[in-house]
A and B are shown apart, each in its own frame.
Chain A
């Protein structure tokens, strides 16, 4: 078996008395879309923040492609191929759509201690940034200010910015939340196309999207992973049905 792209062992995070991450073990295999589902407040976002190094776990280890990253800063982890999108979108509001992607390309290309040339007239940089906008179908909105984007467009831009860092593993925190039906379908299409290039950990409440995309699913409840398995296994797991999917409620 090939080394997993992400390997989490015994991860624990406490907020005072609250156990937000409770001895989580999790792997994402190369080329896989691994969905992470769970009720509100289960600790999904907290888990992603720890993977990125934005939050420090109390216990446990995180390996990226076989290499421990526990002591590395967020910036270092990103350079090793980790990227995330934010559930509550986090973009540069005074910049245009294209600027937001271009700055991610710029940072990936190396240090930014360049004090003279105009970053906005670097044709190669702008061109490359457009490529990622094209991937998410936003190239026609390139010159729009982020502050003027709709919620759905912001979600798409989040994805384009994450892709611009050229990740090996993409951590998606509820990319469909707040999207209309058509927008969700479009996002599912985009993610399906991306599957060839990048592995994903997909946090999502939209079960249609999860069942459409995921190779494996893990279920997180009160910080603990109560089940991991294929779509069918999770769908039929009685514990999952009571704890999360809700008894009696028809799934899909």
Chain B
């Protein structure tokens, strides 16, 4: 009862805070906060996408950076062909329009997820982890070797994609575009996890044997969940390329897959907003720790260990328990 009232109020407060953030940050003289928040929103989308298969569906993918990178390179490659004025493969014109690049990024990462998922979802457990990791690393090395698109160095995107009526060179505008997309994304994800489809996905995590015994052909549902999840990561990658004005093989390196997993675990596996909170904690920790010491990853590792051992469900669960206790 109480919880159902508390939650919308909390969400409304969060949304208002996020809308006010750039203005407050400027006024307080922390203009960099807006950029930090933009990254949190983008990684939040990516981590929540991963969480849909990992946390809700119990499919531990260690290769989701592949889709993040595909999204980023879609924006980068389309921009390069646009700026050079030569069509891709001789017939696909480049573009710098976000209304085109984002959907294309989502579709392409979805197709890649369909291919990788179709081949890896026949396995499970450790094998699944290793196969998804292997596919992502294959893509990583493919893009490293693609000298046309910058190879190792990556692709510089001189200007962020354009949106009608908006000035995308303004940092605040980019932030608000990401915020709007994130709100939309989480609304869709919320419907999805509570739908009939989400119901069987969560059921599969709890017991595949049980789901088979009630007549569910598991493979096709897992595959569709994997594709949806890949599309979400592709969307995030496309936004990231726009934000950084840069796409590079690092976006699909296995350490990026690991970072996304860490965000999910930090925030709370199998919760709607946990990954967003996890992304925020990760990025803040990263900047704070990095300014203290070069070995910031060691500090991060210790904190992660603490979260896994002592919070039983990440920062989100910790917060819920603290709130529950004080109330």
Contacts and interface: CB of A to CB of B under 8 A. Distances in A.
Interface of A: 52, 54, 73-76, 78-79, 83-84, 86, 90-95, 103-104, 106-108, 112-120, 161-162, 164-165
A118 B203 CA distance: 15
B195 A107 contact: no
A118 B206 contact: no
B216 interface: yes
Nearest to B216: A107
Interface of B: 191-192, 194-200, 202-203, 206-207, 209-218, 221, 224
Contact of B213 (A84, A116, A120): A84
A92 B216 CA distance: 14
A115 B224 CA distance: 11
User: Would you call the interface of chain B mostly helix, strand, loop, or mixed?
Assistant: helix
B207 A91 contact: yes
A90 B209 contact: yes
Given A95-B206, A107-B200, A118 B214 contact: no
Contacts of B195: 114-119
A112 B221 contact: yes
Nearest to A93: B206
Contact of B214 (A78, A93, A114, A115): A78
18 contacts: A74-B213, A78-B212, A78-B214, A83-B214, A90-B207, A90-B210, A90-B213, A94-B202, A95-B206, A106-B196, A112-B216, A112-B221, A113-B197, A117-B195, A119-B196, A120-B194, A161-B210, A164-B214
Contacts of B191: 115-116, 118
Given A84-B213, A119-B199, 11 more contacts: A54-B212, A75-B217, A90-B210, A90-B213, A92-B210, A93-B207, A95-B206, A107-B200, A117-B195, A118-B195, A164-B214
Contacts, number: 94
A120 B198 CA distance: 11
B216 A75 contact: yes
Contacts of A78: 212-215
A120 B203 CA distance: 13
8 A-B pairs with least C-beta separation: A78-B215, A75-B217, A104-B214, A114-B196, A92-B206, A119-B199, A74-B212, A119-B196
A112 B196 contact: yes
Contacts of A162: 213
A116 B190 CA distance: 9
Given A112-B197, A114-B196, A83 B213 contact: yes
A123 to B, nearest CB: 14
Nearest to B221: A112
B206 A94 contact: yes
Which of A52, A90, A164 counts the most B-chain CB atoms under 10 A from its CB?
A: A90
B215 to A, nearest CB: 3
Contacts of B210: 90-92, 161
B198 A119 contact: yes
Contacts of A93: 206-207
Nearest to A99: B199
Given A164-B214, A165-B215, A103 B200 contact: yes
A74 B215 CA distance: 7
A232 to B, nearest CB: 34
A167 B206 CA distance: 23
Contacts of A91: 207, 210
A128 B191 CA distance: 23
Which of B195, B202, B215 counts the most A-chain CB atoms under 10 A from its CB?
A: B215
Contact of A75 (B197, B203, B209, B212): B212
Contacts of B202: 94-95
A107 B214 contact: yes
A83 B210 CA distance: 11
A120 B195 CA distance: 8
Nearest to A85: B213
Contacts of A106: 196, 199-200
Contacts of B211: 107
A96 B140 CA distance: 43
